[in-house]
Structure 1
Amino acid sequence: MTTTRISYAELPAIVQAAVEAHTGPALKVESASEGFNSEIAAHLISQSGDYYVKGLRTDHRRVWTQRREAEVNPYVRGIAPALIARVESAGWDVLIFEAVDGHHADYRPDSPDLPKVVDVLRRLGEVPCPPIELRQAEQRLERYADHRADLGYFAGDALLHTDWNNTNVLVTGERAHVVDWAWATKGAPWLDTAYWVIWLIGAGRHEPASSEQWAGHVPAWHDAPAEGINAFAVANANVWDEIGGQDPDPWTARMIAAARKWRDYRKS
């Protein structure tokens, strides 16, 4: 479910002033087209540089995601854009990031971005899980696994991003950067690669087999038990069925189809 978006100019003046105490006076502000889980998402340009600003009202039901992103950020520098500041003012919780001048990753089969996504998955796999509060993967998937015993496959001590929508992967030069860490999770090291498989299939031209071939370039994938991958594919098909409900929009319907296609492939 998306969140109603407002423009930066609609923020209370006191909040804008608090933001610009860190960025310098805004010379230009453009609303961002991505990130609709935020009430405010904008690219801000000042004399000191370019910034990405995102925020929620403090009474929003998902405002906890702001704290999660702020806490994770110091541990994923070089993988995620650096957090400049967190502003809590006048009923708003706002994060200010350095802006990354890149494009959303292209997941098509012939895309030169795919090896860069493999690289960032590998680098993330080398990051120790930080000593912060994180939800556990087996908890997140508890209602969706076919068998309770399957949840053990998802448990682990790795830091996971879990949302490999291509709009969360920005490619600049030879590197990919991962944004939007709201759903950061602790779990088995191979799970992020498994999430990526679904998004590759959802891109429209990958078959499950070719998606898993790309997954095979990520070291953590080689430690994934086949039974665990099967259980994960089933659980995520159930997740997407729930997200879609009775009348999914075209974008969600595509992801439902991708998740089901992988589940059926793993069962065959």
Structure 2
Amino acid sequence: MASRTDFDELPSALRAAVASHVGRIHRVEPVSAGLNSQIAARLHCDAGTVHVKGLRTDHRWAWTQEREAEVNPYLKGISPELLWRVKESGWDLLGFAHIKGHHADYSHGSQDLPLMVGLLIGLSETECPPIELREAGQRLRKYVDDVSQSDLFVGNLLLHTDLNNENVLIQENRAYMVDWAWATRGAPWLDAAYWVIWLMAAGEHSPQSAEQWAEQVPAWESASREALSVFALANQRMWAEIGGDSPDSWTSRMMSASETWSEYRQSL
């Protein structure tokens, strides 16, 4: 988690550079979501409302700003449009079109679930842009029994990989995906599989009911039984590593969900 800085505390030259894009800023509304950003806010200004996120250029996660800026042009209709980027006074800020809506509700019976299916279908049909991205097989290689199993995750589709409900915004009857820091190249079924774990972590989905939602994404059918079992076990191990001996409540839910799903997949 990155420590937060208020927009009004940013260097005056940086705020002036932002104003050159948005005009006069009438009100700044802090945003609590997006824990990997040092600044996250909605700016209500002459140009309308803009969502701003950013990091200092010397921050260890500064590369995520570049990743989001590079991938955004290829995400029309899937993610809010990047309107501008400002690098000034040791900071890197991204200004996105504001999506007025709510974070997706993953609970059983939620009207957001079909919208999420539609979003994942669109994403699973998006080929990877010609930019530098992490590879799904490389990211999961340390969590498989045999390095050759990581080949099960190889593909040339653009993946989000962080299906946290706070990374999905619902505006009217459409879902948008934000926070593309972990954009990855890999097999087209992977995001649907990541979604299974997040659905279960919401607390009301069994492995079967979560998979029933994932099955509505046609790309899911391209995953073999072996691939799903290996993926589920890899994620169980990954979340166990993240949580360690003293996980917080959020991480505990992810650990429990990934373990339950892995046990289910191994039993088939």
By the TM > 0.5 criterion, same fold? yes
Unaligned runs of 5+ in 2: none
- Post-superposition Cα deviations, 1:12-32, rounded to whole Å, max 9, x if no partner, equal 111111111111111010110
- Post-superposition Cα deviations, 1:43-77, rounded to whole Å, max 9, x if no partner, equal 10112111000000001001000000000000001
- Post-superposition Cα deviations, 1:161-180, rounded to whole Å, max 9, x if no partner, equal 00000000000111100000
> What does 1:234-253 align with in structure 2 at a 5 Å threshold?
234-253=233-252
1:169 corresponds to: 168
1:150 corresponds to: 149
TM-score normalised over the length of structure 1:
0.98
Indicate the SS of the match to 1:143: helix
Q: Say whether the 8 Å CA contact 1:201–1:208 is kept in structure 2.
A: yes
Letter in 1 for 2:170: V
Inter-partner Cα distance in structure 2 for 1:125 and 1:19 = 34
2:253 corresponds to: 254
Indicate the SS of the match to 2:158: strand
Does residue 39 (structure 1) correspond to residue 45 (structure 2)? The answer is no
CA RMSD of aligned residues (A): 0.7
1:189 corresponds to: 188
Does residue 178 (structure 1) correspond to residue 160 (structure 2)? The answer is no
Q: Say whether the 8 Å CA contact 1:146–1:234 is kept in structure 2.
A: no
Quick check: 144-153 or 171-180, which moved more?
Answer: 144-153
- Post-superposition Cα deviations, 1:102-142, rounded to whole Å, max 9, x if no partner, equal 10000011000000000000011122210000010011111
Does residue 24 (structure 1) correspond to residue 23 (structure 2)? The answer is yes
Indicate the SS of the match to 2:188: coil
Inter-partner Cα distance in structure 2 for 1:78 and 1:20 = 27
Inter-partner Cα distance in structure 2 for 1:20 and 1:97 = 14
> What does 1:122-141 align with in structure 2 at a 5 Å threshold?
122-141=121-140
Indicate the SS of the match to 1:62: coil
Letter in 2 for 1:97: F
- Post-superposition Cα deviations, 1:230-262, rounded to whole Å, max 9, x if no partner, equal 000000111111111121111111111011110
Indicate the SS of the match to 1:142: helix
Quick check: 101-110 or 138-147, which moved more?
Answer: 138-147
- Post-superposition Cα deviations, 1:67-101, rounded to whole Å, max 9, x if no partner, equal 00000000001110000111110100110001100
Runs of 4+ in structure 1 off by over 3 angstroms are none
Inter-partner Cα distance in structure 1 for 2:17 and 2:225 = 51
User: Aligned-pair distance for 1:146?
Assistant: 2.1
1:227 corresponds to: 226
Quick check: 124-133 or 53-62, which moved more?
Answer: 124-133
Letter in 1 for 2:107: R
2:99 corresponds to: 100
Inter-partner Cα distance in structure 2 for 1:126 and 1:22 = 33
Indicate the SS of the match to 1:197: helix
User: Aligned-pair distance for 1:182?
Assistant: 0.4
Indicate the SS of the match to 2:20: helix
**Corresponding residue pairs, total:** 267
Indicate the SS of the match to 2:181: coil
TM-score normalised over the length of structure 2:
0.98
Indicate the SS of the match to 1:128: coil
User: Aligned-pair distance for 1:207?
Assistant: 0.4
- Post-superposition Cα deviations, 1:215-240, rounded to whole Å, max 9, x if no partner, equal 00001001111100000000011111
Letter in 1 for 2:166: T
Letter in 2 for 1:160: L
2:119 corresponds to: 120
% identity of equivalent residues: 55
